[in-house]
């Protein structure tokens, strides 16, 4: 569920959830990338409290759980995603320490300084990167970590077509150094940043959609919303293939000082 389609918010949520819930991921990423981001984070124990905000069906949460021993709460606005998340957690026998709850990232039910780690892949754009890193910081213990992936420009200049598309979809998209500056300003040590490899988009995000799209369209034949949703996703994928040297997802890892 990429932010590259702001108009997605206008669509019928049930349909969107149905479209994306058949996929393991709702945004670009991979288990390897999750583990790599985790490699920059230390001090985690069995007692650690971790939140995965905008967790979707939990693709990355389960990868995170396999490489940590603490308690993880996944939070997502959509209950259908959370139902799948909790079914996945049970399937992997992780239900005692990995739980999904319905909630909104702008009103999280944690105490101040309760969390050791805040995780969020491809989701912070929903409230905006700068607002998210500032508000969520309150919930972190001093010395705790934040790790978020976020759409970013790779170059200072880019073709007009992709510039217009993104500025409409997510005006906060920016170059990496500016995002790092925002982290510093918010009160984090910028511990690491790295660019997600292309396969996170191509193999793991767009390819599964191609096979799901025909099925989805057949099931919802004649439904304008469904047709528009697929059309938007196809357009977004085409733009990615055309302009992937100019933008992508970047992981930003910070430590609260």
Binding ligand SAH (rule: CB under 6 A), the pick from 29, 144, 248, 254 is 29
The verdict on 54 binding ligand SAH (CB under 6 A) reads: yes
Q: Is residue 162 at the binding interface for ligand SAH, with CB under 6 A as the rule? A: no
Stretch in the footprint of ligand SAH (CB under 6 A) among 40-48, 51-59, 214-222, 226-234: 51-59
Quick one: tokens of 72?
């993880």
76 is an interface residue for ligand SAH by CB under 6 A: yes
34 is a site residue for ligand SAH (CB under 6 A): no
Q: Is the alpha carbon torsion for 181, 186, 192, 193 positive or negative?
A: negative
**Could you tell me the two tokens for 97?**
């320490």
Q: Which stretch binds ligand SAH (CB under 6 A): 34-42, 75-83, 139-147, 227-235?
A: 75-83
Work out how close the CB of 159 gets to ligand SAH at its nearest, in angstroms, rounded to a whole number: 26
DSSP string for residues in 70-137: SEEEEEES-HHHHHHHHHHHHHTT-TTTEEEEE--TTS----TT-EEEEEEES-GGGT-HHHHHHHHH
59 near ligand SAH (CB under 6 A): yes
CA–CA gap between residue 23 and residue 58 (Å, rounded): 11
Residue 175 near ligand SAH by CB under 6 A: no
User: Two tokens at 94?
Assistant: 């992780």
Give the binding site for ligand SAH (CB under 6 A): 1, 25-27, 29, 54-56, 59-60, 75-78, 81, 104-106, 121-123, 126
């Amino acid at each position: 569920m990429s932010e590259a389609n702001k108009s997605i918010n206008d669509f019928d949520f049930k349909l969107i959830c149905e479209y994306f819930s058949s996929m393991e991921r709702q945004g670009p990423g991979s288990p390897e990338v999750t583990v790599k981001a985790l490699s920059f984070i230390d001090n985690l124990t069995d007692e650690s409290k971790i939140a995965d905000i905008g967790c979707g069906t939990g693709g990355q949460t389960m990868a995170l759980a396999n490489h940590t021993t603490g308690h993880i709460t996944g939070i997502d606005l959509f209950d259908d995603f959370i139902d799948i998340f909790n079914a996945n957690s049970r399937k992997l026998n992780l239900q005692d320490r990995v739980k999904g709850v319905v909630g909104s990232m702008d009103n999280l039910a944690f105490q101040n300084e309760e969390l050791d780690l805040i995780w969020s892949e491809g989701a912070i754009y929903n409230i905006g990167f700068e607002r998210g890193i500032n508000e969520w910081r309150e919930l972190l213990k001093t010395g705790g970590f934040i790790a978020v992936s976020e759409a970013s420009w790779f170059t200072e200049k880019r073709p007009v077509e992709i510039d217009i598309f993104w500025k409409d979809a997510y005006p906060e998209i920016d170059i990496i150094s500016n995002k790092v500056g925002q982290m510093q300003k918010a009160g984090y040590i910028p511990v690491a940043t790295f660019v997600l490899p292309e396969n996170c988009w191509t193999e793991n995000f767009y390819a599964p959609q191609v096979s799901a799209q025909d099925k989805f369209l057949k099931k919802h034949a004649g439904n304008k919303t469904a047709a528009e949703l697929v059309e938007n996703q196809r357009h977004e994928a085409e733009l990615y293939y055309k302009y992937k040297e100019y933008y992508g997802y970047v992981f930003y890892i910070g430590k609260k000082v």
